[in-house]
Each structure stands twice: as C-alpha cells, then as structure tokens.
Amino acid sequence: MRYLDPKNDLTFKKVFGQHPHLLKSFLNALLPLEPDAQIEELEYLPSELVPEIPEVRNSIVDVRCVDQKKRQFIVEMQMLWTDSFMNRVLFNASKAYVKQLKTGQEYHLLQPVYSLNLVDDTFIKDSPEWYHHYRIVHALDTDRQIEGLEFVFVELPKFRPQTMPEKRLQVLWLRYLTEVGEKSAEVSGDLLAQQEVREAVEYVKESGFSEGELAAYDKYWDGVSVERTLLADAIAEGEAKGRTEGRAEGKLLGQQVAVLKMLRKGLGVQEVADLLEIEAEEVLRLSRLLAEFGPAAEEHCAL
C-alpha cells in the first residue's frame, strides 16, 4: 500500500477541503480555542470570497470556512518560508476580516478571523518552539486583548511527538502531516485508532487517485523542488561573491544573478520578489535589463 503526502496541494485539499468534519477536528485540535468556544459545525466559503493576494506558487490559500458563530478560519500550507510570507498572511486575514461588512453595516457585526499556517520549513532558527500563537495584545498587560485577528504558525520540521494527554488529538494530526507519506510502509496504530485521523489516512492512499491526479501530485513536488533549488543556489552564490568581492557588493551581485536565473526559469515577478525578499520594482528593472541585453546582462552580473 502506497500513501501520498498529505502536505501536497492536491492531497491536502482532498482531505481538508472536501470533508468538513475532518477540517473541524483539525481546527479544534490545532487552534487555541477555549473548551466553550470549540467549532461545532462549519461550512466552506465559496471561492469567489477568497481575498486576492500576491500569489506564491506551491502555497495553499483557499481552505476557508465559517462556523456556527460566524467566525472565519483560514488554513494555509507553506512549503518554503520567506519573511514576506508573514506579511501576506496578515494581509490575507485582515482583508477577510474587513470583507465581512457590507457598506452601511455596523462594526459590532464583525466576527473573529483565525489564520492557521502550517509551514514545512524552519523560520525561527534560534528557538526550539514549533507552535507560535500571535494575538493583538496590550504591550504591558498581555491579558488585555483586542479581539478580531489571531494567527497560529506551526513549524512542521521542529515538531516531535510528545506525551500530552490534553493535546492528544493535536499531536495525532501533526503526526499525520509529518509521518504519513510516500516512504510510509505502514501507518502507526496510534493514528489508525482515532476515527477522524484514520479516515484522513484512507483519503491519501494512492489507489484512490486517478492518473491525472497523480500527475498533478508529481508536478506540485517538481515545482517545490525547483523553488528550493533556486533559492538555495541564490543564497550560496551571494555568499560566495560576498567573500570574494566584499559583503555588500557580493550580496548585490548574487541577488542579480538569482533574479535573472529565476526569470529565465519562468517564475513571475512577484514570485521572485517574495522568494528573494526584494521589491518587485527591482525585479522588473532586472527583467527589462534581461530583455534588452539578453546574455550580456547575465555576463555583466557574473563579472
């Protein structure tokens, strides 16, 4: 029996984007909701309500739902971390919060928006903590909170199963995301013993996917691999040039080479800007340079 990785765009949506009872279990386990504030039922938001944000390839941003209290929940899987990702998350959740009201409606009708972000990368390298909960709180008295927006980021590579009886379902869902995949010869009995998790395991069996779906699954991982390689090459090249030509100049030259490589590979302007954490205008400038001078531009950057 072969299992597919549930972190893939196709499988994640098949599990959590098509089965509301599994998404409800997942959200109740992962979000910091009080016992009397648990989600009892939910429905998916139609795709036309999804706020428009600068797209990043290989990112899930359309698993959205609303519960019986009209609270909104946004779930996103990010395969590759960049610092601008947190800004996009804030923009995404804020826009969802604002779009609740139609013109003339009163502010008291606004309901909270929760953003759950699963990151298959390590972005806080100097801390072992893998669960990060952000709220809008008073700078001195953190018990005082402005309700409306809450964010949770989970660094999946840092997660390790723990013995926490009160958080057992949270641990099981995270084990599902980190243990089940193409290298799984079998699935742990602990996961299969829990009804919702067992059902989620069934949905990622390869036998349940068509040839077209499997092709899309492989294409997604190809895209992730290309992005990781491009970003790693850009960082390494910038560091090498920094050692030989001075830190500032080397960083700039490495950045220029990386931009040209990514554009040549077909990545979009905003996507390159997000990956390298630079302004889109700078990417456009180098794009015009590439168009005008062709190979000479790359030769100039490599000097």
pLDDT score for 289: 61
Last residue in a domain, options 193, 208, 223? 208
For residue 54, the enclosing domain spans: 9-208
pLDDT band at 226 (very low <50, low <70, confident <90, very high): confident
Do 183 and 218 fall into the same domain?
A: no
More confident residue, 20 or 46: 20
Last residue in a domain, options 208, 234, 262? 208
**Residue 184, in any domain of the structure:** yes
pLDDT band at 54 (very low <50, low <70, confident <90, very high): very low
Chain segment 115-148, per-residue pLDDT in tens: 999 999 999 989 999 999 999 999 999 889 999 9
Last residue in a domain, options 192, 208, 224? 208
pTM attached to this predicted model? 0.74
pLDDT score for 277: 76
Q: Which pair of structure tokens corresponds to residue 131?
A: 């669960």
The total number of structural domains in the chain stands at 2
* Average pLDDT of span 170-174: 94
* Average pLDDT of span 194-206: 95
Do 204 and 215 fall into the same domain?
A: no
